[in-house]
Amino acid sequence: MFDKFQDALVVLVFFYMVYRVGWGSGMTGINTFMLLCAVVALISIALKRTGYLDRMKEKKLEEERKLEEEKKEAK
């Protein structure tokens, strides 16, 4: 339940930052930084929702196991 609230909050912040840059105070340093952070958070949410991060984590663990097995066999 908290994940959906967190996702909605990030989307809300993203649209607020687009509003501030487009119709508010413009491209100030703080607005640009906050917009960049919101974009990174949205990308992270998208990767988490699609399961891409979990697949990459499993693939990395599998490769580490194979390397350990190869080291044991080489001894």
Question: What is the residue extent of each domain of the chain?
Answer: 2-74
**pLDDT, average across residues 17-27:** 87
Q: What is the pTM of this model?
A: 0.66
User: Whole-angstrom Cα distance, residue 24 to residue 71?
Assistant: 59
**pLDDT, average across residues 62-72:** 91
Residue 75 parent element (H or E) = none
pLDDT band at 58 (very low <50, low <70, confident <90, very high): very high
Contact yes or no for 13/38 (Cβ under 8 A): yes
Alpha carbon of residue 75 to chain centroid: 40
- What is residue 4's predicted lDDT score, i.e. its pLDDT? 81
pLDDT band at 65 (very low <50, low <70, confident <90, very high): very high
Q: Which of 34, 36, 35, 48 is nearest to 6 (CA)?
A: 48
pLDDT exceeds cutoff 90 at 59: yes
pLDDT exceeds cutoff 70 at 1: no
- What is residue 24's predicted lDDT score, i.e. its pLDDT? 84
